[in-house]
Structure 1
Amino acid sequence: MSEYPNSTDVLVVGGGMAGLAGALALRENGANVTLVERAPEFGEVGAGLQMAPNASRVLKRWGLLEKALEIGVQPKHLVFRDAVTGEELTRQSLHGEFEDRYGAPYVVIHRSDLHRVLLEGCVAAGVNLVNDVTVDSVETVDGRGVVHTAAGVDYEADVVIAADGLKSTLRPLVASDEPVSSAYVAYRGTVPITADTPATDLEDVVVYLGPDCHLVQYPLRKGELLNTVAVFKSPSFERGEEQYGGVDELEAAYKDCVPAVQAALANLGTGIRWPMYDRDPIENWVAGRMVLMGDAAHPMLQYLAQGACQALEDAAVLQDVTAGTVFAADRVNPADWDEAISAFNTARAARTARVQRTARVWGESWHVSGLARTLRNLLFKSRQDNDFQYNDWLYGQAGEGVPAPGAPRVASRLTA
């Protein structure tokens, strides 16, 4: 018998996208899972997010994709334009050949809606969800993870999943790093789509690329809302100010952009802005019986729209590497956890590091000026629709993980 009254197979720290996905994945394998969240209620802030096929395949696996499609939007195209001239640079059709190739749709969805889909999935699966728990530390004692909380209540588990985000309390157990400032900030906003909303592009994800700035628009909630995100290089953020008491920086960043971009700034909520950070990739995510996942392990800039997508990939691979060992014959085998979390770390670290690094480079290419902008536009315009050479490594089904002993290959499971 455990000396800890709060004992479970798996203890997940953090109730965001990654934590809920990880909890659901392991509960699907038969584990007793407790998830603790510091907030008094579950919820998600922000606006829309893009869910590429590598993520929607995971929802499909869990039987949650239809719920996401009921409230989300399947855009017809991903379109890039020059923000200064308005000219189209390239587009990717997101139906037909694209969906057939990647085995799942491209979906745009409000962050709170995707969070609710995952939360309801956890509730239905029987995950034990606990709010108002602030985790201070984790240690490994006699082969089990012990979680110490601010309230003095301890939890014990065979394994602890640290999914506590960019500013993770538990990441210092494996790395002595800090978040890296990008010098860019984002303003976001969602407004109702009305008869006065310009009809252009309401079925697409449209990205306008400008010097030191970009703007993204797409519909949400079955076309009821228009989501707008403006990202620009901020002098005040470079000085260390996360928030700023005016909109002069925002207006100045887009002063040379086409009227359609400038008009879209009116859709933004300017009461708060999101400073953009990531971290340098790390190879090791494991400390004893604790393992990082999601933004705690691999926070990334948003230029590839992969933050939530990689969290869902994490959960799918975690499910696979535990299915044939830890949960063999429908019985949890605690002795196999060390091998399982090591296999998860090995399967995911290189993949997510590539996404993190590519997101940085991709963002730099969006924001160039002068000759570099001319060359970028020429390169983009040389690409034909349904040229998948730049998509396959990210959206494709190969290389998304490794098989656990006795388990099917992750690549094939992710298409199920």
Structure 2
Amino acid sequence: MASSSRTASLSLQFIIVGGGIAGLASAFTLRKAGHQVLVLEKASGPAKVRGGLRSPPNMSRILDRWGLGPELAQYAIKGSEISFRLAETGEKVGAMVFHKEIMKGFGADWLYVQYGDVCSWLYALAIEAGATIRYECEVISIDPYGVSATLSTGETIKSDLILGADGLTSLVRRSVVGRTSLSSPNASQLYIINGSVKTEVVKRHEILRDLLREPEMHMWMGDRYVIYGHAVHGYQDYSVTIAAPLRRPYIRSNGDVEVPDFDVDRNSLEPRLQRLLDLMEISDVATPPSQEPLESLVHDSGKVILVGSAANLIPPCQTQDAATGIEDAATLGNLFSRLRLSEQIPSLVSAYEEIRQPRLAEVLPSELRKQQQVTLPANSALRVIRDSGLRAAMAQAVLDWEQADEELLREQWDEYIRMFDYDADEVADDWWIKWGKLMDVEQQNRQEESIRQQRLSGAQMQISIARVLDRRMGMRA
């Protein structure tokens, strides 16, 4: 499916709070759909984070559709498999192999990308499409009924609709669910520490060189923590992500990223991990929010919409974190490219929520379940069961496609197929096919009723005028 060139007949003013992946992607799709877009971002410029992301097929497919195929070909790393390893020994106990026969069916690849690269690409798309992006603009409050955003400078900006794309600690979400943070930090939560090591540094250490030999992601599973590692940015950086509890609550001071005291016994780690953690440069630390999906993605006024991490609540750097933000943007652009009359706005806003809520209600539990599986406590019965199951599955996964057991492959891929085969544009198209004509019929009926009322009013006025003239003529007689 090619990216649509359809544009709305009625152009709206959108304010997007947040200039990360979801905000920039939404700016691009809505501007391409014919709307005026202003992005307000408190940072001083586009994110240059060197940490990595996974781009599953449902995300890669959309990025390619948006014309980013050349950039992906140059900088993204096409994944071959996920290697599940024990953090204490480095032993490989499992593998998720991306067989080309399966990936061909998705029409897109599993890729490793750098966060800063994706932001840079989306920034270029948004600017080229005509979006306005203002940096060093901190939004301190929004008015969902007056549809305005107030900046720290005191400036107030009005619009037709506001998108909250301001991440897990979203200010805009306060207007939808009543509070900014959805949970209180505590020692048992898995904080996400994202960083990287330059590959030229990795190559200097013989113990680490084999990490770059295959385009795979290493997943070191530990005692209530997990560490991911994979190459990004055309093999120029090696991304390292840690999901672990902290020994004490993490407080970021003055906006700077400090080294958090995460609760991992470094001396118990395999030598490669110890070296990686010594070398990594931390770029971001995030506290996961509530593990329950939001009840609503839209304010009661119908004028404030949540997108990206502000809506999906997926822990950073999980497989579908950035992907769902891209899906949100694709859905909004698709729906609002069809706008013709102001009376359609509430229906299109409701359609966004109707489409995205079921998707997020499936994705969030799936992501949390996967995170839980790879962070089981040491010596627990569940961990023993997990490792034995991974070993059994790996024996089949590493076989050639023709040799692997079909039932085992089907079982292993069942949930991934539901996640990866989702196409946001197709879902939006299906919604329009089902409900768009009904919207047109309802609108036509309202227009016909309005015309009938106008004609009736006109006829009544003519009668009234005639009566006045008759009275005047009678008086003259």
TM-score by length of 1: 0.85
- Asked if the contact 1:35/1:129 (under 8 Å) is kept, the reply is yes
Does 1:351 find its partner at 2:359?
yes
What amino acid is the match of 1:179?
Answer: L
CA distance in 1, matches of 2:384, 2:342: 57
Deviation at 1:217, TM superposition (A): 1.2
Of the candidates 272, 286, 289, which is equivalent to residue 278 of structure 1?
289
- Asked if the contact 1:184/1:275 (under 8 Å) is kept, the reply is no
Identity, % of aligned positions: 21
Of the candidates 189, 192, 197, which is equivalent to residue 199 of structure 2?
192
What amino acid is the match of 2:311?
Answer: A
What corresponds to 1:395 in structure 2? Answer: 420
More strand by share: 1
CA distance in 2, matches of 1:281, 1:249: 27
**Aligned-CA RMSD value:** 2.8
- Asked if the contact 1:165/1:296 (under 8 Å) is kept, the reply is yes
> What secondary structure, in the 3-state scheme, does the structure 1 residue paired with 2:240 have?
strand
- Asked if the contact 1:190/1:225 (under 8 Å) is kept, the reply is yes
What corresponds to 1:266 in structure 2? Answer: 278
What corresponds to 2:313 in structure 1? Answer: 299
CA distance in 2, matches of 1:97, 1:23: 35
Bigger mean CA offset, 53-62 vs 145-154: 145-154
- Asked if the contact 1:9/1:159 (under 8 Å) is kept, the reply is yes
What corresponds to 1:168 in structure 2? Answer: 170
What corresponds to 1:377 in structure 2? Answer: 387
CA distance in 2, matches of 1:69, 1:349: 32
- Asked if the contact 1:174/1:285 (under 8 Å) is kept, the reply is yes
Deviation at 1:359, TM superposition (A): 2.4
What corresponds to 2:182 in structure 1? Answer: 179
What amino acid is the match of 1:380?
Answer: L
Bigger mean CA offset, 156-165 vs 85-94: 85-94
> What secondary structure, in the 3-state scheme, does the structure 1 residue paired with 2:39 have?
strand
Does 1:308 find its partner at 2:315?
no
What corresponds to 1:47 in structure 2? Answer: 51
1:90-101 matched pairs, under 5 angstroms = 90-94=94-98, 96-101=100-105
Does 1:119 find its partner at 2:133?
no
CA distance in 1, matches of 2:13, 2:296: 23
CA distance in 2, matches of 1:206, 1:304: 14
Does 1:103 find its partner at 2:118?
no
CA distance in 1, matches of 2:361, 2:308: 12
Which has the greater radius of gyration?
Answer: 2
What amino acid is the match of 2:199?
Answer: P
- Asked if the contact 2:95/2:390 (under 8 Å) is kept, the reply is no
1:298-352 residue CA offsets vs partner (Å, 9 max, x unmatched): 221247422111100111111222233x1x5xxxx33322111111111112221
More helix by share: 2
> What secondary structure, in the 3-state scheme, does the structure 2 residue paired with 1:18 have?
helix
What amino acid is the match of 1:42?
Answer: P
Deviation at 1:390, TM superposition (A): 3.0
Distance 1:195 1:40, change over 3 A: closer
Distance 1:226 1:157, change over 3 A: same
CA distance in 2, matches of 1:13, 1:275: 19
What amino acid is the match of 1:339?
Answer: S
Does 1:341 find its partner at 2:349?
yes
CA distance in 2, matches of 1:248, 1:283: 34
Bigger mean CA offset, 164-173 vs 150-159: 150-159
Deviation at 1:46, TM superposition (A): 5.3
CA distance in 2, matches of 1:307, 1:262: 27
1:243-254 matched pairs, under 5 angstroms = 252-254=264-266
> What secondary structure, in the 3-state scheme, does the structure 2 residue paired with 1:358 have?
helix
Unaligned stretches of 5+ residues in structure 2: 1-10, 398-408, 437-477
CA distance in 1, matches of 2:117, 2:99: 22
Deviation at 1:259, TM superposition (A): 2.3
CA distance in 1, matches of 2:259, 2:160: 49
Distance 1:354 1:136, change over 3 A: same
- Asked if the contact 1:69/1:107 (under 8 Å) is kept, the reply is no
1:207-263 residue CA offsets vs partner (Å, 9 max, x unmatched): 0111122221111222222222233222213xx65689878756x523323222223
1:92-129 residue CA offsets vs partner (Å, 9 max, x unmatched): 23361232122111111111111000001111111111
Deviation at 1:153, TM superposition (A): 2.7
Distance 1:98 1:79, change over 3 A: farther
Bigger mean CA offset, 23-32 vs 35-44: 35-44
What corresponds to 2:218 in structure 1? Answer: 206
CA distance in 2, matches of 1:395, 1:323: 25
Of the candidates 150, 153, 158, which is equivalent to residue 155 of structure 2?
153
CA distance in 1, matches of 2:261, 2:44: 36
Does 1:320 find its partner at 2:334?
yes
